[in-house]
Homo-oligomer: A and B are copies of this chain.
Amino acid sequence: MRSLIIGRFQPFHKGHAELVKYAVKKYEEIIVVIGSAYDSYTLKNPFTGGERYLMIRRTMEEMGIEKYYIVPVPDINRYGVYASHVSDLSPEFDVVLSNNPVIKEIFEKDGFKVESTPLFEREKYSGTEIRRRMAEGEGWEELVPAAVVDTIEEIGGEERVRKLNKAL
Chain A residues proximal to chain B, CB less than 8 Å? 37-42, 48-51, 53-54, 57, 69-72, 74, 77-81, 83-85, 87-92, 100-102, 104-106, 110-111, 155, 160, 163-164, 166-167
Distance from A83 Cβ to chain B, minimum over Cβ atoms (Å) = 7
Ordered nearest first, which 4 A-B pairs have the shortest CB separation?
Answer: A84-B84, A41-B79, A80-B88, A101-B167
Chain B residue nearest to A41 in the complex (CB): B79
By a CB distance below 8 angstroms, the chain B residues around A166 are 101
Instruction: Tell whether, in the assembled complex, residue A50 and residue B84 are in contact, meaning their CB atoms are under 8 Å apart.
Output: no
Distance from A18 Cβ to chain B, minimum over Cβ atoms (Å) = 22
By a CB distance below 8 angstroms, the chain B residues around A37 are 89
